Structure 1
Amino acid sequence: MLNPQWLRTFTAVAELGSFTRASERLGLTQAAVSQHVRALEDELGPLLIRRPRQLELTPAGTTFLAYCAEIEQADQRLRARLSDADATAGEVTLVTPGSVGLALYPRLLDLQQRHRGLIIRHRFAPDPEILAAVLERKYELGLVTLRPDDPRLASQRYTEEPLEMVTPAGVEVNDWSDLQALGYIDHPDGQAMATRLLSRHFPGNPGIRSLPCNGYTNQVGLILEPVARGLGFTVLPQYARKVFRRQDRINVVDCRAPVVDTLWWTWRGEWPLSARARRLIDLL
């Protein structure tokens, strides 16, 4: 690896066009500046053409100067990411379930508009992928529907999210035969959610797999489209239903025994959250 001081010396020489002025800027002797440049040229080949009162970069020198700039920018980015002084600038990485993520995303954008130096990287994923992403440090902050029991993860309660049975508008559900007539619109977590809710609403039912499946989508924002068109019913979290634009085309069935999940923030417990992530939790 090249000595970082040599890179700073070469950059100064190239920008100022003079060993003397470079030595003055860097607080080094002119001999030290010359030694640094010679050491680089021993490694990389000729970088400068030396003429009386003029220095010119070789093609290799031009390429190397660009490399020095990239290293300097990377160093600045690293220092910015390690610095925790400013909670309104830098990157926050967040992974959430799709349902609550749909509700949170506009608020995240509002936050970015207020603080233009803030960068929010947000991904939708199911619980197992969220936990893996946080454990592997791909994302700093996660939101899950079950409190993590991994000792490496810290957690904090966020809010509650009920499950809802949603049918086309004007459709009544009184017994299991009504669901059989409607058919089911499935999604990645659909059968597990439906099993939990329907077991409360229709005790002893033959199970969600006994119902005809009239459609499937893995896009949480599209689950209610076929329901609104009368193609079936579904079970999904309340936040996903609330952001659906055509509320007049759907109906939420009154379930006398609701199923309510608690949502938990989670992050690696071995080190504190960044000021940006902590502020995000506080604001949300």
Structure 2
Amino acid sequence: MVNPQWLKSFATLAELGNFTRTADRLGLTQAAVSQHVRHLEDLYGSLLIRRPRALELTPAGAALLEYCAEVNQAHERLASRLSDADATQGEVALITPGSIGLFIYPMLLDLQQEHPGLAVRHRFAPDTEVLEAVLHNRYELGIVTLKPDDTRLTATPFIEEPLELVIPPDEEVHSWDDLVRIGFIDHAEGQAMANRLLSRRFPGNPGAFHLPRRGFSNQIGMLHEPVARGLGFTVVPRFAREAWERTRPVKVAECGPPVVDTLWWIHRAEWPLSARATGVIRYLRQRIEAACGSMVCLLPPEL
């Protein structure tokens, strides 16, 4: 690895064009600056054309100056990630299942517009991938639908989300035969969700596996299209359906007693959350409490 002080001396010299001024700015002797440049030229060849009143970069010197800028940017990114002084500066990374992700992503964009220095990196993924990503430090925050029992993770209850039977706008569901007639639009967790919910509405039913499947998508954010077009019904968490209704109308069929999942924030237990991550959680809590009075936001007030 190239000595960072050599690079700093070279970049400053390229900026000022003078060995004396460079040495004064860096608090070095002119001889030290010259030595740093010689070390770099031993590695990369001629970097400077020395003229009486100016210095000119060779092609190798120009390439090295670009590299100096890249190193400086990488240093700034690292400092931003490690700094915990300002909740509105730097990057916060979170990974969530599709339904809650569809619900909170516009809120995260609102937060980023309020604080342009904040960069939000968000990924949609199933529970298993969320757990792996947080455990391997690829994301600081995650949301899962089942509380993990891994002691390396801290899990905090966030919000409750019911499952819903979502049908085309002009349909009605009164019996299991109606579901068979309409047909099922499946997704990655569709049959498991359907079995949990439909067992309440239609006790003793043969199960979602026996429903005619009219379609499938692994993107929960796209399921509104076939349902709104009358191609079938589906079972999804409420937040997914609410996100759809911004673009396409669908209908929720009554299913009796609700089937409700608790969603959990997770992060590594060994170190505290950054100020940015804590700020994101607080912001989402405030937005959800304001927007969803009928839903239960479980996040403790101190977070």
Normalised by the length of structure 2, the TM-score is: 0.88
Which string of whole-angstrom CA distances, capped at 9 and with x for unpartnered residues, describes residues 59-89 of structure 1? 2222212211221221122112211111011
Partner of 2:166: 166
Q: Answer whether contact 2:224 2:248 (CA < 8 A) is retained.
A: no
After superposing the two structures, state which structure 1 stretch, 47-56 or 264-273, moved more: 47-56
Contact in 1 for aligned 2:80/2:91 (Cα 8 Å): no
Distance 2:83 2:246 in 1: 45
Cα deviations by residue, 1:132-152 (Å, 9 ceiling, x for unpaired)? 121222221111111111111
Give yes or no for the alignment of 1:23 onto 2:52.
Answer: no
Map 1:150-161 onto structure 2 (within 5 A). 150-161=150-161
1:227, CA displacement in angstroms? 2.1
Trace 1:58-69 onto structure 2 (pairs within 5 A): 58-69=58-69
Q: 1:232 and 2:232 equivalent?
A: yes
Aligned CA distance change for structure 1 residues 157 and 57 (closer, same or farther; 3 Å): same
Superposed CA deviations along residues 69-128 of structure 1, whole A, max 9, x for unmatched, are: 221221122112211111011111111111111111111111111111111111211111
Alignment of structure 1 residues 42-61 onto 2, 5 Å: 42-61=42-61
CA shift for structure 1 position 214: 1.2
State the match for 2:214 in structure 1: 214
Contact 1:88–1:115 under 8 Å retained in 2: yes
Name the structure 2 match of 1:88: 88
Where do 5+ consecutive residues of structure 1 fail to align? none
**Number of equivalenced pairs:** 284
CA distance change for structure 1 residues 17 and 243 in 2, over 3 Å: closer, same or farther?
closer
Give structure 2 stretches of 5+ with no counterpart: 285-303
CA 1:246–1:153: 2 relative to 1, 3 Å = closer
Distance 2:125 2:17 in 1: 54
Query: CA deviation digits over 1:210-243, x for unaligned, max 9?
Result: 1111111222222132222322221111111122
Residue number in structure 1 paired with 2:106: 106
Contact 1:164 1:252 in 2 (8 A): yes
SS at match of 2:41: helix
Measured against aligned partners, the alpha-carbon deviations of 1:1-48 in whole angstroms (never above 9, x if no partner) come to: 111111111122222222222111111112222222222222222222
Does structure 2 conserve the Cα–Cα contact (< 8 Å) formed by 1:169 and 1:248? no
**Percent of counterpart pairs with the same letter?**
64
Computing the radius of gyration from Cα coordinates, the structure with the larger value is 1
Q: Is the CA contact 2:84–2:274 (under 8 Å) kept in the aligned structure 1?
A: yes
How far, CA to CA, are the matches of 1:249 and 1:175 in structure 2?
23
Alignment match, 1:125: 125
Backbone CA RMSD of aligned residues = 1.9
Instruction: Give the Cα–Cα distance (whole angstroms) in 1 for the partners of residues 250 and 76 of structure 2.
Output: 52
Q: Measure how far apart 1:49 and its partner are.
A: 2.4
**C-alpha deviation, 1:191, in angstroms:** 0.6
Alignment CA distance shift 1:60-1:195 (3 Å): same
